[in-house]
Chains A and B, each alone.
Chain A
């Protein structure tokens, strides 16, 4: 084999994983969490009046145009009308922030905007305000397919996220994949195991009787398998969120979703 051919072959082999990262679940078999719900909850999610999550959207819409912080700036001050400027934005998160090189989810991006551009205090994790503004921004991408980047600076986070997804944890010694990849569609007590996609977050969860973030949901899963819950804002959640978003690539956003 000539050196040129060997070199070309090596380049192709190197490029392959970046070109086509193998999907965990084939696109044709991807199912949103809502398709594992009963008809009643599914119709509740699709009812823009009765979906309780829409109460948070109203609050988020007000927050969008309320000035805050030392610079007395609002989201609308820079981004104008969220209905156009935030179209499809949530579907691209988690994403690496070019300025700081940090991986951010939508909540993290909103809080960074507050500290960096508005001179305001970040909202607390799971606060009504953070859930409301995140849901409002994510709502603008409803119906658009998740589409995150896992190249460049995001790659190491993606790899860490996948590792975390497949890591056995807790007293039950289970990884995410044991339920949501190998056994989705089967029964776990009274419930059907979902594929574990993040396309409806923040969601209104019946068990919580309120709105909650993806991090809160991940914590609930950790507690369910009797593993130690990581603190809110832990980078491991973000890596995992990126992996989950990539795994659900192509599923339309449903925020505000309704879940059990």
Chain B
């Protein structure tokens, strides 16, 4: 699963930073059928969380109403230099992660 994160580069301490994340995932709803009429099993990312320097700053419970390749955007306050780590898990139990460093100036 490919994913990518984008944050404002080199924020100042105390600055509000925009965090964007895009994850490649089919987000299969469980309501669709394949070419021969069989139900395609539901497989969506159920949990997406983000830790900033080890502290959880964001968590979302996604469901079948979210489009494929989910794109999430939120804001956090730049406190210390550290890693922004994303974790997610889907219905098949597959886990994904991606991280990017925040460099506070």
**Chain A residues near B (Cβ < 8 Å):** 49-50, 52, 55, 58-59, 206, 209-210
Whether the pair B20, A49 counts as a contact (CB closer than 8 A) is: yes
User: Secondary structure of the A side of the interface?
Assistant: loop
Tell me which residues across on chain A come within 8 A of B68, comparing CB atoms. 52, 209-210
Interface range, B side? 10 to 19
Q: Is B75 an interface residue (CB 8 A)?
A: no
Whether the pair A55, B69 counts as a contact (CB closer than 8 A) is: yes
Please give me the 4 A-B residue pairs with the lowest Cβ-Cβ distance, nearest first. Answer: A209-B68, A52-B69, A55-B24, A49-B6
Whether the pair B2, A50 counts as a contact (CB closer than 8 A) is: no
Whether the pair B26, A59 counts as a contact (CB closer than 8 A) is: no
Contact of B22 among A50, A59, A210 (CB under 8 A): A50
Bound CA span A52–B72, Å? 12
Q: Is B4 an interface residue (CB 8 A)?
A: yes
Nearest CB in chain A to that of B23: its residue:
A55
Tell me which residues across on chain A come within 8 A of B20, comparing CB atoms. 49-50
**Closest-CB distance, B3 to chain A (whole angstroms):** 9
Which residues between 1 and 25 of chain B lie within 8 Å of chain A, taking CB atoms?
2, 4, 6, 20, 22, 24
Q: Is B71 an interface residue (CB 8 A)?
A: yes
Whether the pair B2, A55 counts as a contact (CB closer than 8 A) is: yes
Tell me which residues across on chain B come within 8 A of A55, comparing CB atoms. 2, 4, 22, 24, 69
Nearest CB in chain B to that of A53: its residue:
B69
**Closest-CB distance, B30 to chain A (whole angstroms):** 14
**Closest-CB distance, A202 to chain B (whole angstroms):** 15
Q: Is B57 an interface residue (CB 8 A)?
A: no
Which residues between 28 and 86 of chain B lie within 8 Å of chain A, taking CB atoms?
67-69, 71
Complex A-B: 25 CB contacts under 8 Å? A49-B4, A49-B6, A49-B22, A50-B20, A50-B22, A50-B71, A52-B22, A52-B24, A52-B68, A52-B69, A52-B71, A55-B2, A55-B4, A55-B22, A55-B24, A55-B69, A58-B2, A59-B2, A206-B67, A209-B27, A209-B67, A209-B68, A210-B26, A210-B68, A210-B69
Bound CA span A49–B100, Å? 15
Bound CA span A210–B22, Å? 14
**Closest-CB distance, B86 to chain A (whole angstroms):** 15
Tell me which residues across on chain A come within 8 A of B26, comparing CB atoms. 209-210
Tell me which residues across on chain B come within 8 A of A209, comparing CB atoms. 26-27, 67-69
Tell me which residues across on chain A come within 8 A of B67, comparing CB atoms. 206, 209
Tell me which residues across on chain A come within 8 A of B2, comparing CB atoms. 55, 58-59
Nearest CB in chain A to that of B67: its residue:
A209
